[in-house]
Structure 1
Amino acid sequence: MSAALDDTERDESIRMIRDSAAAVAPPGGDLKRVRDLRFKDPGFDRETLRRMGEMGWIGLRAPEGRGGAGLGMGEACALAEALGGGLAPEPLIPCALSAGLLAATGGAGPLDAALAGEMVVLTAWQERADTLDVPGTADAPRRFVPMAAGADLFLVPVREGGKLALYAQPATGAGVAVERTQDGGNVGTLRPSLGGAEKVAGDAEAALAAALDEAALATSAYLLGVMERAFGMTVDYLKTRQQFGRVIGTFQALQHRAADLSMQIALTRASVEAAAASLDGGATGDARRAVVSRAKARAAEASMAVTRGCVQLSGGIGYTDDYDVGLYLRKAMVLANQYGSAALHRRRFMALVPESDE
Structure 2
Amino acid sequence: MSASMIEDPAESLRMIRDSAAAVVPQDGSLERVRRLRYGLPGTDPSTWAEMGALGWIGLRLPEETGGIGLGMSEACALYEELGRALVPEPLVAGALSARLLAAIGDETLLPALLAGESLVLTAWQQQPDTLEAPGDAEAPRLFLPMAAAASHVLLPVREGAAMVLYAAEAPAAEIQKTQDGGHYGTLRPDLATARRLEGDVAAVLPEALDEAALGTAAYLLGLMERSFGMTLDYLRARHQFGKPLGSFQALQHRAADLKIQLALTRASVEGAAAALDDGASGPARQAVVSRAKTRAAEAAMKVTREAVQMHGAIGYTDEYDVGLFLRKAMVLANQFGSAALHRARFMQSQPAEA
Deviation at 1:59, TM superposition (A): 0.3
What does residue 348 of structure 1 align with?
A: 345
Distance in 2, Cα, partners of 1:95 & 1:78: 17
Task: Say if 2:350 is the partner of 1:316.
Answer: no
What does residue 22 of structure 1 align with?
A: 21
Once the two structures are aligned, what percentage of the paired residues are identical? Answer: 63
What does residue 126 of structure 1 align with?
A: 125
Equivalent runs, 1:97-112 vs 2, <5 Å:
97-112=96-111
What does residue 46 of structure 1 align with?
A: 45
Distance in 2, Cα, partners of 1:132 & 1:104: 19
Task: Say if 2:180 is the partner of 1:164.
Answer: no
CA contact (8 A) 1:27 1:85 kept: no
- Runs (4 or more) in structure 1 with deviation over 2 Å come to 1-6, 354-357
Distance in 1, Cα, partners of 2:106 & 2:336: 23
Distance in 1, Cα, partners of 2:238 & 2:199: 60
Deviation at 1:354, TM superposition (A): 4.9
CA contact (8 A) 1:3 1:280 kept: no
Equivalent runs, 1:23-102 vs 2, <5 Å:
23-102=22-101
CA-to-partner distance for each residue in 1:122-168, whole Å, 9 max, x for gaps? 00000000001111111111000000011110000011122111111
Deviation at 1:175, TM superposition (A): 2.4
Deviation at 1:201, TM superposition (A): 3.4
Q: 2:252 aligns with which of 228, 251, 255?
A: 255
The amino acid of 2:335's aligned partner reads Q
Q: 2:213 aligns with which of 203, 213, 216?
A: 216
Matched residue count: 353
Task: Say if 2:229 is the partner of 1:232.
Answer: yes
Distance in 1, Cα, partners of 2:29 & 2:342: 34
CA contact (8 A) 1:124 1:156 kept: yes
Q: Secondary structure at the match of 2:175?
A: strand
Task: Say if 2:275 is the partner of 1:278.
Answer: yes
Distance in 1, Cα, partners of 2:292 & 2:203: 21
Q: Secondary structure at the match of 1:169?
A: strand
Gaps of 5+ in 1: none
Q: Secondary structure at the match of 1:189?
A: strand
Deviation at 1:4, TM superposition (A): 9.6
CA contact (8 A) 1:125 1:156 kept: yes
Task: Say if 2:325 is the partner of 1:328.
Answer: yes
Deviation at 1:246, TM superposition (A): 1.0
Q: Secondary structure at the match of 2:22?
A: coil
Q: 1:4 to 1:354 in 2, by over 3 A?
A: farther
CA contact (8 A) 2:3 2:68 kept: no
TM-score (norm 1): 0.96
Deviation at 1:355, TM superposition (A): 7.1
TM-score (norm 2): 0.97
The amino acid of 1:320's aligned partner reads T
The amino acid of 2:308's aligned partner reads V
Distance in 1, Cα, partners of 2:72 & 2:27: 25
C-alpha RMSD of the superposition: 1.4
Q: Secondary structure at the match of 1:118?
A: coil
